[in-house]
Amino acid sequence: MPKGREELLRVIRTISAGGPADGIHALTGPEYDPEIQELAEAVAVMLAKIEAREDRLEQLLAKIRRDTVNTITAVAHALGARDAYTEGHGERVGVYARRLAQRLGLPADEVERIRVAGTLHDIGKIGFSDRIFSSEDTPLTREMVDEIHRHPEWGRDILKNLDFLGPALEYVYAHHELMDGSGYPRGLAGEAIPLGARILCVADYFDAMTTDRPYQRGRSAEAAFETLRRLAGTALDPDLVETFILEVEEGGPAGAA
């Protein structure tokens, strides 16, 4: 029996079961039978080619994912043609949410999911009727409020087939849930609200308060901080509020950081 035959079979079985391929290179040494060396070298080359192809495929998939998110973001920008306030709001919420997630020390992939969810959190407003966008000077009817309350659900439905978004889909769906359970669409409370959604809620409130609207000027950051603190514990996560305020105080508002 050629020296190394059993070792080669054992390594090949390990590789086929999804285990490490480290042992294959040892079998290419001169102490082994030439036939075993040749087979081990062939397996090593094959594994290297497979790994290179997997790397290229992963790069391609990553590009497809980026392009898909960019396309959806461009669609979300179309809201600006109907609602001037919405223009730029998603990007700023995405920036604030990313910065807060980073300050919390969350893993890089989770930070990116939260950023994407922040950028796309209001995409469901595409489904609003014209009466919503033209109601700045008139009281909202019950039907209009119900329509507004459905935009997280519509956003989830728009994005639901993008499996690579993972938990970001839930963050979009839950970004209007409040700590005391008075939010929508499900009335979740406390830690039942995903952390990513609680982060978006703080970022969303802050940007809404500090952005100029047709019916009111945006508040200063300091005034918005006071409101965030008043809402802490009822609407907003108090720990996130304080961490967010520290981040903005140190890093400046979105666009300055």
Residue 66 within a domain: no
Residue 72 within a domain: no
32 in Cβ contact with 23 (< 8 Å)? no
Quick check: 58 pLDDT over 80?
A: no
Tell me the pLDDT band of 3, cut-offs 50, 70 and 90. Answer: low
Quick check: 79 pLDDT over 70?
A: no
**122 and 10 in a common domain:** no
- The pLDDT assigned to 214 comes to 62
**28 and 94 in a common domain:** no
Task: Give how far the C-alpha of residue 253 lies from the chain's centroid of Cα atoms, to the nearest Å.
Answer: 20
- pTM, two decimals, is 0.72
The predicted model gives 197-214 an average pLDDT of 91
- The pLDDT assigned to 256 comes to 46
The predicted model gives 187-207 an average pLDDT of 97
**125 and 32 in a common domain:** no
Closest Cα to residue 132, out of 144, 122, 146?
A: 144
- The pLDDT assigned to 57 comes to 66
Tell me the pLDDT band of 223, cut-offs 50, 70 and 90. Answer: very high
CA torsion through residues 169, 172, 174, 175, sign: positive
Tell me the pLDDT band of 211, cut-offs 50, 70 and 90. Answer: confident
The predicted model gives 166-179 an average pLDDT of 95
| Single-letter code of the amino acid located at 74 | A
**In the chain, what percentage of residues exceed pLDDT 90?**
42
- How many CA atoms lie within 13 Å of 54's alpha carbon, on the beta-carbon side? 6
**246 and 153 in a common domain:** yes
Q: How far apart are CA 232 and CA 242, in angstroms?
A: 9
Domain that residue 31 falls in: 5-50
Residue 77 within a domain: no
**In the chain, what percentage of residues exceed pLDDT 70?**
82
**87 and 36 in a common domain:** no
Quick check: 84 pLDDT over 50?
A: yes
Q: For helices 238-251 and 89-103, give the axis angle rounded to 10 degrees.
A: 100
Tell me the pLDDT band of 78, cut-offs 50, 70 and 90. Answer: low
Residue found by looking up tokens 């898909």 in the block: 68
The predicted model gives 217-229 an average pLDDT of 92
Residue found by looking up tokens 């990007």 in the block: 91
Quick check: 209 pLDDT over 70?
A: yes
